[in-house]
Copies of this chain bind each other. A is one copy, B any other.
Amino acid sequence: MIKKLAQTRESDDIFELSSFTPYLLNQAAEAQSDVFSRNYRDRYGMLRTEWRVLFHLGRHGDMSAKEISESASIHKTKVSRAVRALEEKRFLSRVTSPDDRRSERLSLRPPGQEAFRHLSRAAQDYEAALEQRLGKRDACKLRELLKRLDGT
C-alpha cells in the first residue's frame, strides 16, 4: 500500500502553521488593527503612524520628532512623514527649537487635541470591549504576555 504523505501527516504531530506563534500574532494583530483603524481612518483620514504620533503628542505634551521616534519605536522617516501629514491636516504646528535649530517642537493644535481626545476615548472603549470578550483576567494576561514578547 502506498502511503499518501500529505494525508498521513494530517493526523500526526507534524507542525501546523495555525499553531505557530508568530503566525497567530500576526493574524491577531492584523485583525485587531483593522477593526480599530476605522476610528482614525474613516473619520480623520489618518494612517496608523499618524494616529500613533498624534497619540504620543496628546499623551506626553510637546515633543520633537526624535523624541517621538524613540519613545514609540517608529523610524524617523515614518515619523517625518506622519508629522507632515498631521501638519497638513492642521492637527499640529511646529516651531524651531530655540536651543537647537535642527530640531522642532511639535504641538497639537486645538483640532488635533480634539481628535486626540476622541480617539483616546475610542481606544478605551475598544479596550473595554475586548475585556468584555476575553474576560478581565484573560485580557490582562494577554497584555502581560505580549509585553514579555515585545523586546525580543
Contact = CB atoms under 8 A, between A and B. Distances in A.
A73 interface: yes
B149 A21 contact: no
Interface stretch (A10-18, A77-85, A89-97, A98-106): A10-18
Describe A's contact surface by its main secondary structure: helix
A59 B9 contact: yes
B17 A59 contact: yes
Interface residues of A, number: 55
21 contacts: A6-B59, A6-B62, A7-B61, A14-B59, A15-B127, A17-B52, A17-B59, A20-B126, A21-B32, A21-B126, A21-B127, A21-B142, A24-B146, A25-B146, A26-B33, A27-B150, A28-B146, A28-B149, A32-B149, A133-B148, A134-B145
